[in-house]
């Protein structure tokens, strides 16, 4: 049997083993899974004697910034020119990478490790597993396959990857493998209570003011089956917040009983003709259907897209699209 089909980790490990200097990156505006996976993989490879940079823009990171290693991130425009390999984690397409790093795909051998079903299979070697709860779970499997050393710092990065992409093990993507991974990570004295508090329970005053504005914007379409919150550029500017501070805003419309589709519609630039939307759905509705309408992607229950419209027009277009795709 072809080794790649039998063990898709094998070509990934072979390529990682063959080079000394490696650059790791993830998708723009990295969430807990993207950041945690990148930091954990870097830690494992450094233990294995590799020279590794994690190239991400620090000012785009939200609550996962509590992880150790964030202070050591490399700016995306300052990567080592001697690097022999680019590894892209938790990123479905080249245009979702940091802009400064996109030209490296094609210039450097590129390994992609991802769990998004919408992954475009870019790069030279791809390990894509949509059945995985998170890319962090995949990095843990890779580490165990390779026999890499783990420590508390690595385990905490993987823990954050797991809990953020599984909703603290509540989402349907959680599997027995996810729980086996979690149990293993706990043997490294992961500070679970502290991480839970920092990520889910404690907020700066300005972030709470932004959340208040989101609550005030809450509305419903389709007789309550669609719930929506919206934030304008003025909302972000007035509170001193960025998109990184709004990671969990989508949970506000999602918590409404009876909601089948939750939307977070927002703009982060002044007078912008571009509007973004985060999408969450409940069974049997597929969030990817709506995201793909606008060239976006993600997962069946959690997706996102960018619309080439100002806020008012985007809202109208989304309202029509949701009605057509899910309730017609």
- Please state the domain extents for the chain: 3-199, 205-326
Which DSSP string do the residues of 233-294 spell out, in sequence order?
HHHHHHHT--GGGGTTTTHHHHTSTT-SEEEEEE--STT-S-EEEEEEE-TT--HHHHHHHT
Are 288 and 297 in contact by the 8 Å Cβ rule? The answer is yes
CB 247 within 8 A of CB 60: no
131-150 average pLDDT score? 98
Cα distances (Å, whole numbers) of residue 177 to 37, 112, 180: 16, 21, 5
Shortest CA distance to 76 belongs to which of 49, 98, 107, 91?
Answer: 98
Average pLDDT over residues 268-288: 94
pLDDT for position 271: 83
Residue whose tokens read 């397409």: 93
Query: What DSSP assignment string belongs to 11-38?
Result: HHHHHHHH-SEEEEEE-SS--HHHHHHH
| CATH class for the region spanning 205-326 | alpha beta
Burial class (CB in 10 A: 0-12, 13-18, 19+), 325: middle
Q: Mean per-residue pLDDT for 51-72?
A: 94
Mean pLDDT of 10-39: 97
DSSP label at 200? I
Give 224-257 pLDDT, tens digit per residue: 999 999 999 999 999 999 999 998 999 999 999 9
**How far, in Å, CA of 235 to CA of 18, rounded?**
49
Tokens of 28: 């723009």
pLDDT average, residue stretch 187-209 = 96
pTM of the model: 0.91
Place of tokens 């550029």: 233
Domain 3-199: homologous superfamily in CATH: inorganic pyrophosphatase (n-terminal core) (3.90.1640.10)
Using the predicted structure, report yes or no on whether residue 113 has a pLDDT greater than 90: yes
């Amino acid at each position: 049997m072809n080794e790649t089909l039998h063990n898709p980790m094998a070509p990934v490990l072979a390529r990682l083993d063959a080079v000394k200097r490696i650059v790791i990156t993830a998708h723009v505006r990295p969430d807990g899974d993207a950041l945690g996976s990148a930091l954990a993989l870097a830690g494992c490879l450094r233990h294995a004697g590799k020279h590794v940079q994690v190239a991400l823009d620090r000012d785009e990171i939200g609550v996962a910034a509590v992880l150790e290693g964030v202070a050591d991130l490399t700016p995306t425009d300052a990567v080592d020119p001697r690097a022999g390999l680019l590894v892209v984690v938790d990123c479905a397409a080249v245009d979702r990478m940091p802009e400064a790093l996109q030209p490296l795909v094609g210039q450097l051998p590129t390994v992609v490790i991802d769990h998004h079903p919408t992954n475009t299979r870019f790069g030279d070697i791809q390990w894509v597993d949509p059945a995985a709860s998170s890319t962090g779970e995949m990095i843990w499997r890779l580490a165990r396959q390779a026999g890499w050393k783990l420590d508390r710092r690595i385990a905490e990065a993987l823990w954050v990857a797991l809990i953020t992409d599984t909703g603290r093990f509540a989402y349907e993507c959680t599997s027995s493998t996810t729980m086996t991974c979690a149990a293993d990570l706990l043997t490294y004295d992961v500070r679970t209570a502290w991480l839970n508090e920092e990520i889910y329970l404690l907020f700066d005053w300005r972030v709470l003011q932004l959340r208040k504005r989101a609550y005030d914007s809450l509305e419903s379409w389709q007789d309550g089956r669609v719930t929506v919150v919206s934030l304008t550029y003025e909302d972000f500017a007035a509170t001193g917040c960025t998109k990184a501070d709004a990671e969990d805003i989508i949970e506000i419309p999602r918590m409404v009983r009876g909601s089948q589709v939750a939307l977070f519609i927002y703009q982060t630039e002044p007078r912008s003709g571009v509007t973004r939307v985060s999408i969450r759905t409940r069974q049997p509705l597929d969030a990817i259907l709506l995201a793909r309408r606008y060239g976006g992607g993600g997962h069946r229950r959690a997706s996102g897209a960018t619309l080439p419209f100002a806020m008012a027009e985007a809202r109208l277009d989304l309202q029509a699209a949701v009605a057509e795709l899910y309730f017609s």
